[in-house]
Structure 1
Amino acid sequence: MTARPLWTSHEAQDATGGALVGPDWNANGVSIDSRSVAEGDLFVALRGPNFDGHAYVADALAKGAVAALVDTLPEFPAHNPSLIKVDETLAGLRALGIARREAVGATVIGLTGSVGKTTTKEMLATAFAALGATHASPGSLNNHWGVPLSLARMPHDVRYGVFEMGMNHAGEIADLTGMVRPHVALITTVAAAHIEFFGSVEAIADAKAEIFQGVEPGGTAVLPLDNPHYARLAAAARAAGVTRHITFGETAGADFLLKGVETGPEGLTVSAVAAGLPLTFHLNFFGKHQAVNALGALAAVHAAGGDIARAAAALEGLQPLKGRGGRRKIALAGGGELTLIDESYNASPAAVAAALGVLGAETPGTGGRRIAIIGDMLELGEQSAALHADLAGPAVANKIDTVHCCGPYAAYLWELLPAAMRGLRAPDSTVLARSLARELRAGDVVMVKGSLGSRMAKVVEVITSLASDGAA
């Protein structure tokens, strides 16, 4: 039996209202990046502030794209390509996503939150995949073009769809949830991330709660009972007509209640009460916050009518994404090894505090130390200095031996540290990375954390290069 294509030319034309140019086609994927376009893709030529996808249409077609969605017809003197001409390509992509969501009968789970979105999304994808065919947004495709792209990529025959929604301004989640129309809406937590654009954490909570505006009738809100803004979120859900609530966390009364976490060399053993029944499972993650994330994911499985035990067992096979808590041993050229905890992908005050807690629970090797390398947390606005300085408390409480800092805001943290804890201070990650080799030794446990714009991956690269064979 021949597999049904993801999109036919006529399905795409009907969805977008565009004009077909050239031969008919069948597409098995949708791409917005000519560098990674695959054979059989429909290439969408988006426009951005610093790029125009129309300049790469010919390249995408040469790499095997079967057609391109465009709003300006390019000139191809050598051949007659297959195109769909629309008024504006982002609107065309949104139309594809909305049409696919309308056509597919999957149970849809949407999630947002200040911290832990992408990791929890991966937990959801893994858990639901154990229960049936599942489609999930890859990586961090959670914005105004990532969400419709993920929707447009959803196959016809999936049983579950999982979509992450992010924002840094009010109104963005409302727009995204209107496309996703989830049956289950999960908020991981609310904290001071992107506070530069909101002014208060309460305003952030209100923006996250916009997710409930798109919930399908009879749907469910999955809420973090531990969060100080739980009542605000619950009220917003009820105001949007979402009356079924399932809670998770450490707080007594949570429907998915964390009872205990045991840390071992390979991760966590989690003990919980899930919808009234005892549940124990393993995670290849570290930190109590990851156990709470997992319970949020399992609560969403329960909300969707899925088998909690089977979903929890599936989580045992999930590994952290790059830059989100993975760890590796680095064998050093001079002998011995250090442990690298890579948290370099992103950062917020809550996430850095949690990462310091993970580092504080580590036992260094002989002669080793707990070392934190912290870069700037971005988009904190007028509160940047204070929120960075506040991290001195968790660093001291978790008995971190040395803290290296880079960036103008992380300097506020460095200034408040006890003198014995102060490591290097540098203007940026590139400068700091140059000096790290002489600061690290065998037995150290080293955690690297900072916002993506702080480019802390450079620090991870340098530490990895210390390996005796040049590779970790």
Structure 2
Amino acid sequence: MMSMTPRQIAEAVGGRLVEAPGSERGADGPAVAGAVSDSRQVTPGTLFVAIRGERVDGHDFVARAAGAGAPAAIVEHEVPGAALAQIVVDDSVRALGDLARHNLRLRREQADPFTIIGITGSVGKTTTKDLLRAMLAELGETVAPVGSFNNEIGMPLTALKVGASTRFLVAEMGANHVGEIAHLTTIAPPDVAVVLKVGVAHLGEFGSVERIAQAKSELVRGLVPHGVSVLNADDAHVAAMAAIAPGDVVWFGRGAGLGDGVERPTALGARDVHHDELDHPSFTLTKGDRSVDVHLAICGDHNVMNALAAATVADLMGLPLERIAAVLADQRHISPHRMAVGEVDRDGVRFTLIDDSFNANPDSMRAGLDGLAAWGASRAGHTVRVGVLGAMLELGADEHELHRSIGAYAVSLGLDAVIAVGSASDAALDALAGDIAAGADRAAEGRDASHPVSVKLVHDVDGADRAVRAIAAAHPGTTVLLKGSHASGLSALAERWGSEGAAA
């Protein structure tokens, strides 16, 4: 964070400063270093932003923040007796955004170069962000969110990590509604806008894929004058955003094209893509007449596109192809619950876990299932593959059919077992899991009798745990994919297994 005192922060957010008890009246106060909205993350010198949530009110923790060394807090009402300066505002979330905007403005006023890269898309944002952060770190100090901090709270908190020596800010920008990304770009106007894909995530909230495309296009519209758009040449909705780009358009893609006769030459290309027995993709990365071999350390064919997007930006920023390839080969650990591979030993039963449980929509669900289907394909003998699948949320009126189609898709890939995980306490989640099982059952009716598929519906993660252990006990070498929305609880199951013996 750029150096600011509580008084300067109050001026930046239009708040009323209530000085700390015992402080010298009219003094600026100590410099603030960073900001958090979780009092457990406060360290000496950190600004605490008290946010009123659905379940927790940050104002209840202002005194705790003061005790941990926070010199100031942004609050919506004065908290009596708290031993720190209080900046009283009407809306803490809006003030957080205002402060982040001011912080980035201060950084841009410095003489040293500073670049903001915004990333959006229905799938792949966090993985692309993780890969790009690692590449840009080769060129200078890089700030990027931990995990999926991409909303009106997470993105400004990340922007407040930018200091005088920061060279790059990678800002992940997500949306549940039209206008959200537009708002985020007023806080952090990007120099480079990366749009990965327009899919059906949050279809129930937006109402149509066209509305989703409109929301994602807000990142391009929010570019600084003459900013660069980095667009997916293989996605028609993304390609259409070239028409609104304020500056240069740089394409990435695998050369599939859109069949519309329009030539969209990619800055970097991926040729001769293939996978090892653990589904790590390899390909030849091309730039004009130059090429370099790339071996991804993360799994999944879909990550070729994420790697291409990140590599295209890194190339724009001046990172040589050889260093791009080296970084991609070294990035084994990305944000949690995203195609993370480990070995689980639970009650003496061992199996391989592919943990992709952070969240789910139809596009990412199919990508995860593709990765499971490819796992161990080149090995001698048969690897038993189990898809443990939870509900997908915010899909609108077609949600039941979309869930049935995922169950059918899992069976079509030749999986050995599909375990649909519902909820004993949430009838809606349970019904959607039932749709996955129904779709799988229907598809299994036409399955070759020599390769049957087991379909099971369970009503909590404990049931999923027992079902997986039973299969793995009977079939050494079992591989399990966990994939579902956060509400399905599968990420908690992954953490349970991880705490009891997973090893990357």
TM-score, normalising length: structure 2: 0.85
Q: Deviations over 1:204-238 (max 9, x none)?
A: 11111111121011111111111132332223x33
Which residue of structure 2 aligns with residue 422 of structure 1? 454
Structure 1: distance between partners of 2:85 and 2:325: 46
- Are residue 315 (structure 1) and residue 328 (structure 2) matched? yes
Query: How far does residue 261 in structure 1 lie from its aligned partner after superposition?
Result: 2.8
> After alignment, is 353-362 or 299-308 more displaced?
299-308
Q: Deviations over 1:142-163 (max 9, x none)?
A: 1111112211221122111100
- Are residue 225 (structure 1) and residue 230 (structure 2) matched? no
> After alignment, is 222-231 or 180-189 more displaced?
222-231
AA aligned to 2:385 is: R
- SS of alignment partner, residue 388 of structure 2: strand
Q: Rate the CA distance shift 1:55–1:163 in 2: closer, same or farther, 3 A.
A: same
> After alignment, is 259-268 or 311-320 more displaced?
259-268
Q: Rate the CA distance shift 1:277–1:144 in 2: closer, same or farther, 3 A.
A: same
Q: Deviations over 1:292-335 (max 9, x none)?
A: 10110111223344444323322332213221011111245547
- Are residue 261 (structure 1) and residue 268 (structure 2) matched? no
- SS of alignment partner, residue 48 of structure 1: coil
Q: Deviations over 1:107-140 (max 9, x none)?
A: 1100100001111111111111111111112221
Which residue of structure 1 aligns with residue 399 of structure 2? 384
Which residue of structure 1 aligns with residue 428 of structure 2? none
Contact persistence 1:130–1:311 (CA under 8 A): no
Q: 1:38 aligns with which of 26, 40, 43?
A: 43
Contact persistence 1:433–1:458 (CA under 8 A): no
Contact persistence 2:2–2:107 (CA under 8 A): no
Q: Rate the CA distance shift 1:277–1:206 in 2: closer, same or farther, 3 A.
A: farther
Q: 1:96 aligns with which of 99, 106, 112?
A: 99
Structure 2: distance between partners of 1:160 and 1:463: 36
Q: Rate the CA distance shift 1:343–1:86 in 2: closer, same or farther, 3 A.
A: same
Q: 1:413 aligns with which of 406, 411, 436?
A: 436
Contact persistence 1:222–1:248 (CA under 8 A): no
**Structure 1: which 5+ runs fail to align?**
none
Q: 2:352 aligns with which of 339, 354, 368?
A: 339
Q: 1:457 aligns with which of 491, 497, 500?
A: 491
Contact persistence 1:224–1:249 (CA under 8 A): no
Query: How far does residue 189 in structure 1 lie from its aligned partner after superposition?
Result: 0.9
**Structure 2: which 5+ runs fail to align?**
24-28, 109-113, 258-264, 423-430, 446-451
Which residue of structure 2 aligns with residue 440 of structure 1? 472
- SS of alignment partner, residue 253 of structure 2: strand
Query: How far does residue 393 in structure 1 lie from its aligned partner after superposition?
Result: 4.5
- SS of alignment partner, residue 122 of structure 1: helix
Structure 2 counterparts to residues 68-79 of structure 1, below 5 A: 68-76=73-81
Q: Rate the CA distance shift 1:276–1:191 in 2: closer, same or farther, 3 A.
A: farther
Which residue of structure 1 aligns with residue 425 of structure 2? none
Q: Rate the CA distance shift 1:18–1:198 in 2: closer, same or farther, 3 A.
A: closer
- SS of alignment partner, residue 409 of structure 1: helix
Which residue of structure 2 aligns with residue 199 of structure 1? 207
Q: Rate the CA distance shift 1:226–1:37 in 2: closer, same or farther, 3 A.
A: same
Structure 1: distance between partners of 2:500 and 2:158: 38
AA aligned to 1:145 is: I
Structure 2: distance between partners of 1:312 and 1:18: 48
> After alignment, is 221-230 or 378-387 more displaced?
221-230
Contact persistence 1:424–1:432 (CA under 8 A): no
- Are residue 293 (structure 1) and residue 332 (structure 2) matched? no
Q: 1:278 aligns with which of 291, 315, 326?
A: 291
Which residue of structure 2 aligns with residue 139 of structure 1? 147
Q: 2:177 aligns with which of 153, 163, 169?
A: 169
RMSD: 2.4
Q: Rate the CA distance shift 1:458–1:150 in 2: closer, same or farther, 3 A.
A: closer
AA aligned to 1:17 is: G
AA aligned to 2:483 is: K
Structure 2: distance between partners of 1:48 and 1:343: 27
TM-score, normalising length: structure 1: 0.91
Structure 2: distance between partners of 1:124 and 1:302: 10
Contact persistence 2:419–2:455 (CA under 8 A): yes
Structure 2: distance between partners of 1:451 and 1:374: 9
AA aligned to 1:41 is: T
Query: How far does residue 379 in structure 1 lie from its aligned partner after superposition?
Result: 0.8
Q: Deviations over 1:162-200 (max 9, x none)?
A: 000001111111111121110100011111100001222
Which residue of structure 1 aligns with residue 448 of structure 2? none
Q: 1:354 aligns with which of 333, 349, 367?
A: 367
- Are residue 399 (structure 1) and residue 414 (structure 2) matched? yes
Which residue of structure 2 aligns with residue 374 of structure 1? 389
Which residue of structure 1 aligns with residue 11 of structure 2? 14
Query: How far does residue 51 in structure 1 lie from its aligned partner after superposition?
Result: 2.7
Q: Rate the CA distance shift 1:463–1:69 in 2: closer, same or farther, 3 A.
A: closer
Contact persistence 1:260–1:272 (CA under 8 A): no
Structure 2: distance between partners of 1:462 and 1:310: 37
> After alignment, is 417-426 or 303-312 more displaced?
303-312
AA aligned to 2:227 is: G
Query: How far does residue 438 in structure 1 lie from its aligned partner after superposition?
Result: 2.0
Contact persistence 1:388–1:413 (CA under 8 A): yes
Q: 2:196 aligns with which of 162, 167, 188?
A: 188
Query: How far does residue 434 in structure 1 lie from its aligned partner after superposition?
Result: 4.5
Query: How far does residue 265 in structure 1 lie from its aligned partner after superposition?
Result: 5.9
> After alignment, is 21-30 or 177-186 more displaced?
21-30
Structure 2 counterparts to residues 155-166 of structure 1, below 5 A: 155-166=163-174
Which residue of structure 2 aligns with residue 59 of structure 1? 64
Query: How far does residue 251 in structure 1 lie from its aligned partner after superposition?
Result: 2.5
Query: How far does residue 35 in structure 1 lie from its aligned partner after superposition?
Result: 2.1
Structure 2: distance between partners of 1:143 and 1:275: 37
The alignment of Structure 1 onto Structure 2 pairs a total of residues equal to 461
Q: Rate the CA distance shift 1:139–1:332 in 2: closer, same or farther, 3 A.
A: closer
Q: Deviations over 1:44-74 (max 9, x none)?
A: 1112233321111001111222221223111
Contact persistence 2:250–2:267 (CA under 8 A): no
Query: How far does residue 424 in structure 1 lie from its aligned partner after superposition?
Result: 1.8
Structure 2: distance between partners of 1:73 and 1:372: 51
Contact persistence 1:225–1:254 (CA under 8 A): yes
Structure 1: distance between partners of 2:499 and 2:101: 45
Q: Rate the CA distance shift 1:99–1:409 in 2: closer, same or farther, 3 A.
A: same
- Are residue 211 (structure 1) and residue 245 (structure 2) matched? no
- SS of alignment partner, residue 287 of structure 1: coil
AA aligned to 1:208 is: K
Q: Deviations over 1:365-411 (max 9, x none)?
A: 86740111000011111111111122244323422111111222132
